[in-house]
Amino acid sequence: MRAGASSTAALRRRDLAGPLRAFLIGVAAVSAAGLALGLAFAGSPARIAEGVHVAGVDVGGLTASEARALLERRFARLQATPVTFVAGTNSFDLTPAQLGVKVDWAAAVETARREGEGFGPVRGFRRIHTRIFGAEIVPATEVSAASLDYALGEIAREVERPARDASIRLEGLRPVLVSGLTGQALDRAAAEQVVARALSTFVRTTVGLPVRITTPAVTGQELRRALAQTRTALSGPVRLRIGKTGWRLTRQRLAGMLVLPAEGRSRLSIGGRHADRFLDRIAERVARPPVDAGFQIRGDGSVRVVSGVYGRELARAATAEAILAAAVSPADRVAVGSTRSAPPERTTAEARAMGITSQLVAYSTAYAGSADRIHNLQLAISLLDGTLVAPGGTFSLNDAVGERTAERGFRKAPVIIGNEYEEDIGGGVSQVATTVFNAAWEAGLKVAERNPHALYIGRYPLGRDATVNYPDLDLKFVNDTAKWILVKGWSTDSGIAVSLYGAPTGRRVVSSAGPLTVRGGPPVERIADPDLPKGRRVVEEEGEPPRSVTVTRKVYLPNGELLYDETWTTNYRGEKRVVRIGTMVEEKDEEEAAKPEPPPPGR
C-alpha cells in the first residue's frame, strides 16, 4: 500500500513541474520586456517629461531653465494684453500689469520636473503615464490685493443691483402694493479666484465672472394682509379716549401716522414725525410731572424729608398700539390710550437714606460794593442753593454756579485782575466762594482747592478769603463724611449765607491766624503831569504794601483723634501807590521881564 501511494505522488509532481516552469519563464520574459520598455522611455532626468503643460504651455522635453525662460518670456509679452471678463450684460478688460499679477514660474517648473522623476525604469513608466494622460500644472499666482479690490469694486458698481423689497405706498388715501424685484450681486470671493487664474494663463478668451441672483426679503404675497389692514385703517376716522378726554383722528391724520411696509418691513405700524407730534400734544394734556423728595429746614436747624410725589405720563407705545388696533378694526374704531406712573428721580426712601438730618455749619458775609455786585452775589447764591454732595464726592463752585455770562443774568462789577481793580461780568462771585470756603473750613471738611485773592481784603477773616474765575480757578471741598451733604444758600437784606447740612460728625475745629506781616513798601507808579508845576508831587492813590499771613486749622474727631493739621500761607500783592509828578515850567510875565534888575546891595 505505501509503495503505491509514493509512486502516485511522484507522478503528480512531474505533471505540475512543466506548467510551472513555463509560467515562470513567461513572467521573466514579461518582466524583461517591461524593464526594457521602462528603460526605453526613461529619457534624461534633466528634461521634463513629455505631456507636461504649465498654464496650458507644453514644456515636455525642455530642461527646467528652458521651460522657465519660455514661460517668463511669453508671460512678459502678455502683460499689457487684456482678458475680457463678463458679468451679466457688462464686460470689463483687465491686464496683468493693471493688477500687479506675479506668477511663480520657478515653482511651477519644479513641479513639472517632478512629474517625470524616478530611477531608471520607474521614471520610464511614470513618463509613459504622463505621455498618455498628460499633466497640467497650475502655477501659484500673486495679485495686488488693493488693485484687485479696486477693480472688483468698480465691476460691482456696474453689475450689482440690489433686490427691491415689496412695499405699500399711498396714492392719496388709497394704498397700492409695489411688487418686489430680484437683484444681482457679484460673488467677490469667487471672482477673485477667477480673475487671478485667468490673468496667469496665456489664453485670451472671454471669462465669465460669478454673479448670483438676490431675492427680496419681503415679497408682494407677504404684504397681502398688511395691504388689507391699510385699506381698513383708512376707511374712516378713529376716536382716541384717555380718561374722560377724547380726540378724533381723521383719515388724513391717520394716513400721516401710518408707517407702511417698506425697506424690509412687512408690518403696519404707527410712527413717524406726524405720530410723534400728535402723541406729544396728548402727552402734554395728560402729563403730571413727578416731584422729587426734598429737604425742609426746620427752625432748630434740623432737616425733615419732604416726600416725593409720583407723576403721570403717557404710555406712548401702548397708546400707539391701541390706535393701530382700532384703525385696522372694521367695527370698533375706538382706541383707549394708556398712562403710567412717572417716578421722581429721587424717591422718599432714597432721600431718607442720604442721612441729611442736621445743620453742620452756617457762615455769612455782608454785602459790599455796587448794586450790580450785590445782584451777582444773590444770583450766584441762588444757583448753588440745594446742591447735593455724595459721600466721597467733591463740591465745585464753578459746577454749581456755572459760567458767569450776561446771557445767564450776571452783570459787570469790580473784580481784581492782577493787582488792580477792574470791571467784568460776574464781579463779586468771589465773595460767594469765600463764604462757602469758610463754611467748609468751620465744618472740618477737606478743602480740595482754594485760591486766595491777589490783594488783601480786610472785611474777610484773616487769611481765609477765596476767589474764583470760570473755568480755571475754582473752590472745591470734599465730602469726607459717611452721609450726603446738602448745600443751602440764602441772600438777606444785609448779606449772603451758606449752610451745610448732613449727619452730625462731632468734629471740632481749632483755627488760629498769625500776624499780617508787611513784606515791603507798596509798588510805586510815577506819572508825569504837565498840568502840575515842575518839581511838585501829588499822591493820587496811597496804595497798600504786600503782606502775608499764615493760618492753621486742626480738625479733631469726637474721640479726640487729630484728623487734619493744616497750615495755609497766603501772600498778598501790594496795591500801587500812584504819584503824579509835575513837569510844567512857569514862564515870567513880559512886563516883569522888561524891568531892570535891581543893583547889587551896597551900591
Asked whether residue 35 is domain-assigned, the answer is no
3-state secondary structure of 491: strand
- Is the model's pLDDT at 464 over the cut of 80? yes
d(CA 426, CA 377): 9
Residue 284 included in any domain: yes
Q: Which letter does DSSP use for residue 403 in this model?
A: -
**Are the C-beta atoms of 336 and 315 separated by less than 8 Å?**
no
**pLDDT of 375:** 98
One domain for residues 360 and 318? no
Q: What percent of the chain has pLDDT over 70?
A: 88
In angstroms, the CA 279 to CA 295 distance is: 35
Same domain for 154 and 289: no
Lowest-pLDDT range of 32-41, 373-382, 511-520: 32-41
Residue 387, C-alpha cell as written in the block: 446742591
For 271-275, what is the mean pLDDT?
96
**Residue 123 pLDDT level (bands cut at 50, 70, 90):** low
CA distance 443 to 584: 61
Q: Please report whether residue 262 resides in a domain.
A: yes
Is the same domain home to 482 and 574? yes
Provide the 8-state DSSP code for 283.
H
Residues 338 and 477 occupy one common structural domain: no
Q: Look at residues 128, 247, 217, 231 and name the one whose alpha carbon lies nearest to residue 176.
A: 231
For residues 278 and 337, what is the distance between their CA atoms, to the nearest angstrom?
13
In a domain, residue 173? The reply is no
What is the residue-averaged pLDDT of the chain? Answer: 89
Least confident of 265-274, 510-519, 521-530: 521-530
Residues 373-393 have pLDDT tens digits of 999 999 999 999 999 999 999
Select the more confidently predicted residue: 253 or 30. 253
Q: Is residue 76 part of a domain?
A: yes
pLDDT of residue 37: 44
Point out the domain boundary residue: 323, 351, 379. Answer: 351
| pTM of the complete model | 0.62
| Residue 592, pLDDT score | 53
Whether the CB-CB separation of 37 and 51 falls below 8 Å is answered with no
C-alpha Rg value of the chain to the nearest Å? 51
What's the pLDDT at 204? 87
Residue 103, beta-bridge partner list: 141
pLDDT tens for each residue of 152-173: 999 999 999 999 999 999 999 9
Q: Range of 130's domain?
A: 52-158
Q: Provide the CA 208 distance to its chain's centre, in angstroms.
A: 44
pLDDT tens string 189-211:
999 999 999 998 888 889 999 99
Same domain, yes or no: 437 and 561: yes
DSSP 462: T
Domain count, the chain: 3
| 3 state SS of 339 | strand
Q: At which of 330, 351, 372 does a domain end?
A: 351
The two beta strands, 524-533 and 577-584, are parallel
pLDDT value, residue 38:
44
Whether 597 has a pLDDT exceeding 70, the answer reads no
**Could you tell me if 58 and 89 lie in one domain?**
yes
All cell numbers assigned to 438: 469758610
Q: Which of 124, 88, 130 is nearest to 111 (CA)?
A: 130
> Which has more confidence, 108 or 35?
108
154 shares a domain with 247? no
Which CATH number is 226's domain given? 3.10.20.800
Q: Strand 207-208 relative to strand 83-87: parallel, antiparallel, unpaired?
A: parallel
Choose the weakest-confidence range: 16-25, 187-196, 320-329, 418-427: 16-25
What's the confidence (pLDDT) of residue 588?
Answer: 57
> Residue 559's pLDDT band (boundaries 50, 70, 90)?
very high
Q: Are residues 347 and 430 in the same domain?
A: no
263 to 166, 176, 259, 266: CA distances (angstroms): 8, 15, 11, 9
What would the grid cell of residue 401 be?
A: 454756579
With respect to residue 72, please indicate whether it lies within any of the assigned structural domains: yes
- At residue 7 the predicted structure's pLDDT band, cuts being 50, 70 and 90, is low
Q: Are residues 347 and 363 in the same domain?
A: no
Q: What percent of the chain has pLDDT over 90?
A: 72
Q: Is residue 593 part of a domain?
A: no
Q: What is the pLDDT of residue 55?
A: 86
Clarify whether residues 322 and 366 are in a common domain.
no
Residue 411 to residue 373: CA distance in whole angstroms: 7
Cβ burial, residue 429 (10 Å; 0-12/13-18/19+): buried
Whether 408 and 525 map to the same domain: the answer is yes
Question: In sequence order, what DSSP letters do the residues of 544-602 get, joined into one string?
Answer: B--EEEEEEEEEE-TTS-EEEEEEEEEEEBPBPEEEEEEEEPPPPPHHHHHSPPPPPTT
Residue 552 lies in a domain: yes
- Asked if 82 and 102 sit in the same domain, the reply is yes
Task: State the cell numbers at 251.
Answer: 383719515
First to last CA, the chain: 207
The larger pLDDT score, comparing residue 6 to residue 583, is at 583
CA–CA separation, 489 and 382 (whole Å): 6
Q: How far apart are CA 52 and CA 74, in angstroms?
A: 17
Residue 272 has pLDDT above 70, yes or no: yes
Residue 20 has pLDDT above 80, yes or no: no
Give residue 164's pLDDT: 94
Position 40 pLDDT exceeds 50 = no
How confident is residue 6, by pLDDT bands cut at 50, 70 and 90?
low
Q: If pLDDT is split at 50, 70 and 90, which confidence band does 33 have?
A: very low
On the question of pLDDT at 596 being above 80, the answer is: no
**Contact present, 400 and 383 (Cβ < 8 Å):** yes
From CA 198, how far away is CA 322, in angstroms rounded? Answer: 62
**DSSP-derived secondary structure for 4-47:** HHHHHHHHHHHHHHHHHHHHHHHHHHHHHHHHHHHHHHH--TTB
Rounded mean pLDDT of 353-369?
97
Q: What is the pLDDT of residues 532-558, one digit of tens each?
A: 999 899 998 888 999 999 999 999 999
Q: What is the pLDDT of residue 14?
A: 55
Last residue of a domain, one of 316, 351, 386: 351
Angstrom distance (rounded) from CA 215 to CA 164: 8
Quote the crossing angle between the two packed helices 121-133 and 2-42, to the nearest 10°.
70
